[in-house]
Structures are given as C-alpha cells and as structure tokens.
C-alpha cells in the first residue's frame, strides 16, 4: 500500500505545479499585453499632441497675422503722433501675441547686426567706423516663436555703414 499513498501525495503537488505554471504563463501574457497597450497609448498621445499643435497653428496663424498688422499699425501711429495711447494699445497687442507663443523682438539703436535676427531696411552712411553695422533706427519689430525659437519675421532696421574716404582730387584738376 505504500506506493498508492506516495502517488496520492505527489498528485496534489503535480496538480499545484501545473496550476502555478498556468498562472505564471497568464501573468507573463498579461505583462506582455500591458506593455503593448502602454506603447500604443504613448504613440497615440504623441500623435494627439502633433495633431493638436498642427490644429493650433492652423487656427492661430491667421489671428497672429492680423495681430501683427494691428501691432505694426498701432506702433507706427504711436511714433508718428508721439501718442502714449497708441503705444499702450500696441503694448496690449504684444501681450496677446505673447499668449499666442510669439515674442516681439525689437531692434535697438546701437545694437550690432545679427544675421538671423535683423533685416536691413536701408543703410545710412557714417564717418564713425565704430558705428559700422549697428542699428541706426529700428523700422519693424521682429517676431520669434517661443516654442521653436524660429524667427517668423526678422527685425527690420536702418543700419550704419562706415563710408569710404573720398579719393583726393588731383592737384592739377
């Protein structure tokens, strides 16, 4: 009778081992599926953000263009009329542009020319070589996207150019 008692003792352990193996397989399968779901969720989140940014740009770009024209007009009137009222309205538009992710970057008198930031509106001759390639007068503010750092419009200004010394006329002429 000894052998049947051993079989009955090992039989529950075999059944238990079999069940544990099935649980282990199920847990591994669950983790594999969960990892796959996480990767799908991450990919969908990235796509959602990309679509959102594209939609935001598509919707905001015309508004930003209109705000820029409004800012330019108000700023020009403020300078032409020396009006603090127009200047304050222009400042309000700058705040709205900032909320849209656009920084207004003005050229500053005396600032040295920087490629990628400045555009030459015109040139003013100067005899002072220290002023060469510096801003003489700002014309239009530049616009930079805060998120990307990309310039949407370069700051336009009048720049100094050191003049060449005029050639001396011949004595006999």
Mean pLDDT by 10 residues, the chain (173 residues): 56 84 92 93 89 76 92 93 94 94 92 94 92 93 91 94 60 46
What pLDDT score was predicted for residue 39? 93
Strand ordering across the sheet containing 155-162? 118-126, 155-162, 135-140
**Dihedral angle, C-alpha 117, 123, 125, 172, nearest 10 °:** 130
In this structure, the strands spanning 151-153 and 102-105 are unpaired
What pLDDT score was predicted for residue 115? 92
Return the structure tokens found at 124. Answer: 């003013």
What pLDDT score was predicted for residue 104? 95
| Predicted model pTM | 0.60
């Amino acid at each position: 009778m000894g052998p049947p008692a051993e079989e009955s003792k090992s039989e529950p352990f075999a059944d238990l081992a079999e069940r544990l193996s099935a649980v282990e397989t199920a847990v591994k399968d669950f983790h594999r599926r969960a990892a796959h779901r996480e990767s799908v969720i991450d990919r969908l989140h990235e796509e959602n953000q990309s679509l959102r940014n594209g939609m935001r740009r598509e919707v905001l770009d015309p508004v930003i263009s209109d705000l820029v024209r409004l800012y330019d007009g108000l700023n020009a009137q403020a300078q032409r009329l020396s009006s603090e009222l127009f200047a304050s309205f222009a400042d309000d538009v700058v705040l709205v542009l900032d909320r849209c992710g656009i920084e207004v970057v003005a050229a500053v008198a005396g600032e040295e020319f920087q490629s990628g930031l400045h555009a030459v509106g015109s040139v003013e001759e100067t005899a002072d070589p220290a002023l060469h390639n510096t801003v003489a007068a700002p014309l239009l503010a530049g616009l930079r996207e805060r998120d990307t750092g990309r310039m949407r419009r370069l700051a336009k200004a009048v720049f100094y150019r050191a003049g060449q010394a005029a050639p001396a006329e011949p004595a006999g002429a």
